[in-house]
Amino acid sequence: MTIVKSSKTHPLYEELVSIAGQERVSDNQVIIAAYAQDACHLEAERPGIIVMPNSVAEVQEIVKLCARTKTPIVPAGGRNGICGAVLPRVPNVVMLDMVNMDKVTKIDEDVMTVTVEAGLRWAELIHRLDEKGYKLGFRGPYGGNVGTVGGSVSINSIGYAASKYGPSTEGVVSLEVVLANGEVIRTGTGWNPDAQLFGRYSTFNDLTGIFLGDHGTLGVKTKVTLKIYPKAEFLTYGDFGFKTLKEATDFMLEAQRYGFTEELILLADRQSTETFFPGLLNKHKEVHAFISAIVQETDSQLANRKMEILREMSEKFGAKDIGNFAAQMHWSEMFNLVQPLYNNGFWLNTCHLRPINRIPEVMERLWAIFKKYKLLDNDIKWIASCLGADRAYATGWITIFVPTKDKMEMALKAWNEMLDEIFDTGACPYWSGLLWEERAVKKADKNFLDTYWKIKKALDPENIFAPEVFKGGN
């Protein structure tokens, strides 16, 4: 059904309608306006036309059409990323809104993998697996109600349970990708049509890795196969307060080395804790940095013992045991932690990765910026939080919240300085997008980028997939 009629001015309108049907194609500016931004403030070109494919076959036909006509194409997932990765850099793009492709195609219990269509949302996948007695490793980005599996693995997304399982891409076993010629490739053990999708590394080199984090530049992901694990029902929680950020990060590093926690999250200062959990530290005046730990196991003794060890470990770093309320809330509010923070204003993010030991260094510099711009005097709150990832690194989620539009100009100045300091202290952004790309490309080793472009040219000779991405344009 179509209520707002297409303008039918996009050159591919009729042909796209012949592939996907009138109801799932629109080039009306009213419809397109709803695809003009993701969940950050950045803007780029607007798509020229939106298509909502329902199947791999439709994606193949659309890609073939775009290749034949040299029309740029950008795939989009839940579009709640916070780096502008999904926004087209060139005009007249065909944007694929992938959210109709949301099926769980196979839970292969024999080899402990699940295969899903790329437009499936993480929250839905968690529920589907839970019903069958399984859990994922990486559980989804913090916006996992809406964030799609395909979107996350295309931009190295990170979030829940990354402390134990690493970022979204670590759990990927295989991908199904529509290439620029419209053909389909299956990676991992998928190279063998008769094999189950049980492993990522086999026989040849790792082609899965080529497409992970590609920001949609090398193909359209249509299916993702992920590792699954037995459901773990036993959870233990701990909240720890530290006098200094240095003590907190020392503990964080030690705890991450052991890999006991499903989730280990640091709030770097009192202001961040107050913004996240108002009143949490009222009774703990001496606490200046705060860590919540969540252990999840299939056995209660195991879960309890690991938390005991963490508690003992924390004491060595002068931690104060402050219960477990924040940790419980952190976990039980899965995928809904950040949204209430919007009440503080629109957010400007600086998401990146860094070694845990370099958290205090960057925070010193950022606190100086906060002070310089008198953020609190201007009602601009911040949250500096770091999620332990994999073994010894962490995310840096240092976000400022701009309460009203008129404060945006000043906030953007502070934010840009923050980005510079973050890069200057050993950061590697996990995603690029409009948020980081200019700085990242400037910093990148030439041989690294040249190699990427050779691959890009080989796989996408007509440069139809997300053109201009990774070129450093602003």
Partner 1 sequence: MTTNLKNLSKYEDEMWLCARCGDCSLADKTVASNRDVYLPCAIKNVLGFEAFAARGRIMIMNDLLNERIPLSNDIADWAYTCTTCKSCMETCTATADGVNLPDMMEALRKDLVANSFSIQKHEEIENSIINEFNPYKETQDFRLKVFGDREFPPKAEVVYFAGCTSSFREKEIAVTTVELLTKLGVNYTVLPDERCCGSVLLRLGREKAFGNLTSHNIESIKRTGAKTVITACAGCYRTWKVDVVKAGYEYDFRILHITEFLDELVTKGAASFELKDKLKVTYHDPCHLGRHSEVYEAPRRVIESIENVELVEMATNKRYAHCCGSGGGVKGTFGDLANEAAGNRIREAEESGAELLLTACPFCYRGLKDGANHIGSNIKVLDLPTFLLDAKIGKSMKKVKDEPLKLEFMEYLVDHPMIFDGLKKGAVIDYEIEGNRFHIEVIGKGEVIAKPQRAENPDVELTFSPAAVKTLVTFSSEDKYAEQFGKFFKEPTDSEWIRFNLRLNIVKLLMKGYRKFAQKAGLI
Residue placing its CB nearer to partner 1 in the complex, 28 or 105 = 28
Residue 46 C-alpha from the chain's centroid: 22
Q: Least CB distance from residue 70 to partner 1, whole Å?
A: 26
Residue placing its CB nearer to partner 1 in the complex, 174 or 344 = 344
Q: Least CB distance from residue 52 to partner 1, whole Å?
A: 5
Residue placing its CB nearer to partner 1 in the complex, 99 or 252 = 99
Burial class of residue 34, CB neighbours in 10 A (0-12, 13-18, 19+): exposed
Q: Least CB distance from residue 33 to partner 1, whole Å?
A: 5
Residue 434 φ/ψ, nearest 5 degrees: -65, -25
CA distances from 215 to 76, 183, 312, 455, 469 (A): 10, 19, 42, 14, 8
Instruction: Find tokens 């919007």 and name the residue.
Output: 342
Q: Give residues in contact with partner 1 (CB under 8 A).
A: 1-5, 23-24, 26, 28-31, 33-39, 50, 52, 78-80, 97, 99-100, 121, 123-124, 126-127, 143-146, 277-280, 282-283, 323-326, 329, 332-343, 345-347, 404-405
d(CA 128, CA 134): 9
> Percentages helix, strand, coil for the chain, rounded to the nearest 5?
40, 20, 40
Q: Least CB distance from residue 146 to partner 1, whole Å?
A: 4
Residue placing its CB nearer to partner 1 in the complex, 81 or 429 = 81
Q: Are 92 and 135 in contact (CB under 8 A)?
A: no
Q: Least CB distance from residue 88 to partner 1, whole Å?
A: 15
Q: Least CB distance from residue 204 to partner 1, whole Å?
A: 35
Cα radius of gyration (the chain):
23
Q: Are 350 and 398 in contact (CB under 8 A)?
A: yes
Residue placing its CB nearer to partner 1 in the complex, 38 or 250 = 38
d(CA 216, CA 227): 22
d(CA 45, CA 362): 33
Q: Which helix (H) or strand (E) holds 286?
A: none
Q: Least CB distance from residue 6 to partner 1, whole Å?
A: 10
* Residue 72: partners with Cβ closer than 8 Å, 6 or more residues away: 66, 88, 90, 92, 93, 94, 463, 464, 465, 466, 467
Q: Least CB distance from residue 84 to partner 1, whole Å?
A: 12
Residue placing its CB nearer to partner 1 in the complex, 49 or 464 = 49
Residue placing its CB nearer to partner 1 in the complex, 27 or 250 = 27
Residue placing its CB nearer to partner 1 in the complex, 36 or 392 = 36
